[in-house]
Amino acid sequence: MTTNEQAARVVAISGAGTGIGQVAATHFAAAGFRVAVGGRRVERLAETRSLIEDAGGTCVAHELDVSNGESVERFFTFVEAELGTVTAVVNNAATARYGLLDDFSAEDIELEVATKLTGSLLMAARGIRGMRPAGTGGDIVFVTSAAAIWPWVQHLPYAAANAGVEHAARILRLELEGTGIRVGVLRVGETAGTEFGNRGMALGVMPHDLWFRRGLLRHQGLMNPANVAEAMLAMVQLPSTYQYETVSLVPTAPIGELPVTMDEWQQRMIQFMSP
């Protein structure tokens, strides 16, 4: 894809006030995309917008609750008026906490499923309603977690929501064949520097010791938000003649690493989160 083609594209990224979403927004802007960022915390969206505009990019920000259809509609209406048709939707918004299922309230479960699963469907549907009549094609990217396929204990509502998103993407890909609108899944493994990791470390409730004992974690390799952002950008920049259906992004093991303990893994998390 040429620089001119990218400059004509508009990408909308949910959950773009912090972590992976914020870094992804800056990467897309640096590549020449016009960027729209949405999220619940408008003050954090303003930070993202400033980062992009200070670097010479184009960005608009608008409050967005992906679990609410009216909020999604307001977001897209604003973005289309400011930047034109959205031709790439990145469904990045998510919320989660750790704990046993029977410790979750009904509200906790509803929030996690509504943000990741319902929100992704609402954003995708509205994006398609803009792209289809425009006839320009485009991309719908669902950002999911390795929890969608691995049994991450004490992470059940989030994992179930991500599994639902991945199956929805399989169906949607078939529905959109011949329209020029591509559907991709970016499944993300262990990543430091996100609010999930920071919140879990602060509360002291991350269940990674259980994950190690069950063989779900084998080494202390970690990715950072920039690694994930680069993969998002690569998916959307592909020539229109092909696509990635599902990209599973996982950290590599550090060279020469010996088997690690839980304490060693936590120390590595702390190093990643340090300024």
In sequence order, which residues have a C-beta less than 8 Å from that of residue 165 and are 6 or more positions away? 91, 116, 117, 120, 142, 144, 148, 185
Residue that has been written with the tokens 């990635």 in this structure: 244
Opening angle at CA 225, ends 219 and 231, nearest 5: 95
Which pLDDT belongs to residue 202? 45
Query: Residues of 116-125 as b/e, b for ≥16 C-beta within 10 angstroms?
Result: bbbbbbbbbe
* Distance in angstroms (rounded) separating the CA atoms of residues 274 and 198: 10
- For 116, which DSSP code? I
- Distance between CA atoms of 252 and 249, rounded to whole angstroms? 10
How deeply is 35 buried, as exposed, middle or buried, from its count of CB atoms within 10 A (0-12, 13-18, 19+)? Answer: buried
Q: Spelled out in words, what is the top-level CATH class assigned to the domain 3-273?
A: alpha beta
> Which pLDDT score, from 0 to 100, does residue 258 have?
57
Amino acid at 144: T
At 273 the pLDDT is 52
Residues of the chain predicted below pLDDT 70? 1-7, 193-218, 257-275
Confidence (pLDDT) at 28 = 98
Q: Would you state the pLDDT for residue 208?
A: 61
The residue ranges of every structural domain in the chain are: 3-273
Q: Rounded to 5 degrees, what are φ and ψ at 154?
A: 65, 30
